[in-house]
Amino acid sequence: MNLVSIIAKPEITITKNPFLVSSPLLFFSNKTKSKTSIPRVLSSSMSYNKELAAAKKAVSLAARLCQKMQKAILQSDVQSKSDKSPVTVADYGSQALVSYALQRELPSELFSLVAEEDSEDLLKDGGQETLERITKLVNDILATDGSYSDSTLSTEDIVKAIDCGKSEGGSRGRHWVLDPIDGTKGFLRGDQYAIALALLDEGTVVLGVLACPNLPLPSIAGGSQHSLPGEVGCLFFSVVGGGTYMQPLDSSSAVKVQVNATDNPEEASLFESYEAAHSMHDLSSSIVKKLGVKAPPVRIDSQAKYGALSRGDGVIYLRFPHKGYREKIWDHAAGCIVVSEAGGLVTDVAGNPLDFSRGRYLDLDTGIIVTNQKLMPLLLKAVRESIEEKASSL
């Protein structure tokens, strides 16, 4: 693999009110990143209880915001980024809420956030109205929740909260990793999306929380992504060494989940990205044919696939982006630990664990494969053969 090292590691020091700073640039100080690319092995005795509680709180608030926004979404909410993927008011609002809530819940810690969005488009001409809508939306959610009744955020506060996400991450220290809405196109269609938050500690993912507001509580093993009203909305969470749990978004009653442990590929079902631009479906088809998988693929937006896989709804997830696409760490960090702690494996095509320690990108040369431990050897063999056949046919 041609892995790319990113040098700077911005950090943020928290005060009691995290937004009593005149400029977002004053949040950051650069340090040289360690040359090593191997994540440090963490002691299994380390506790992340307060970080998990803060993460669940922050993601739950963001999920409420996204649910509210999805109900009232208008085409005018959609903006365009340089990569042409849609960004909504909910994207920015979700990131601002998570950033703010984490800082309020963990006020004594250095705060570093690697996240998808920044305020550049909001600060351009014509962006003020959108920024005011985001500010109102965030304040409405905070007021309804009541946890931070002492705070009413200004547009400047929102900009600073969003721009906390400019950290580059890396192999030293702690970094939160956030995708405020993973699966934005699914969100706009009314289908699957996720709010995905993970914590890196010395380059290793140690905690993950996935909110999937549209994922049915019952299994989607049969391929249906829709359920009756009141039966949707899942929160998955994991801490290293502690397993994976799922609870309804509107409840604190959690159950431990496990991946499907079948060793028969004919009984396995496949998840893949809904958008053809996100994965080479023809390569996936070749792989499942070699394995003898009989069920048609289930195509789902976002890291909701990781959540569904962790509770056994499916057995295999394949993601093979087209040439030139760079995988971002926020697209996989939370989902990776959720599946891993449920007994699954997440690797590159060579069978190596994903390395989240090198900055904002994974820089994989081919793709990502996910399944249980029993099927992984067979899956790796089928993947290698299919990739070789595809290359020889070009």
Q: Are 188 and 168 in contact (CB under 8 A)?
A: no
CA separation (Å) from 24 to 62, 132, 167, 320, 375?
Answer: 22, 18, 12, 36, 47
Question: Residue written as tokens 């340090």?
Answer: 31
Cα(60)–Cα(249) distance, rounded to whole angstroms?
A: 7
d(CA 97, CA 86): 20
> Annotated binding residue at 250?
no
Do residues 88 and 185 lie in contact, with contact meaning Cβ atoms separated by under 8 Å?
no
Tokens of 1: 């693999």
Cα dihedral value 338, 225, 315, 218, nearest 10:
70
Is 184 annotated in the active site? yes
The catalytic position among 88, 91, 163, 348 is 91
Q: At what angle do helices 128-145 and 155-163 cross, to 10 degrees?
A: 90
Residue whose tokens read 């049969």: 222
- 304 contact partners, CB below 8 Å, separation of at least 6: 183, 192, 193, 194, 210, 212, 214, 215
Q: Decide if 236 contacts 209 (C-beta within 8 A).
A: yes
The answer on whether 179 is annotated among ligand-binding residues is yes
Out of 130, 135, 184, 371, which one is annotated catalytic?
184
Check if the beta carbon of residue 379 is closer than 8 Å to that of residue 316. Answer: yes
381: left (phi over 0), alpha (psi -120 to 50) or beta: alpha
Residue 163 appears among annotated catalytic residues: no
Which residues, including other chains, have CB under 8 Å from residue 143's CB and lie 6 or more apart? 149
Task: Judge whether 129 is annotated as a binding position.
Answer: no
State the maximum Cα–Cα separation within the chain, in Å, rounded to a whole number: 64
Question: Which residues, 6+ apart, have CB-to-CB distance to 176 below 8 Å?
Answer: 55, 102, 111, 112, 113, 114, 115, 197, 198, 199, 200
* Binding site residue list for Mg(2+): 116, 179, 181-182, 331
Catalytic residues: 91, 184
* Binding site residue list: 116, 179, 181-182, 331
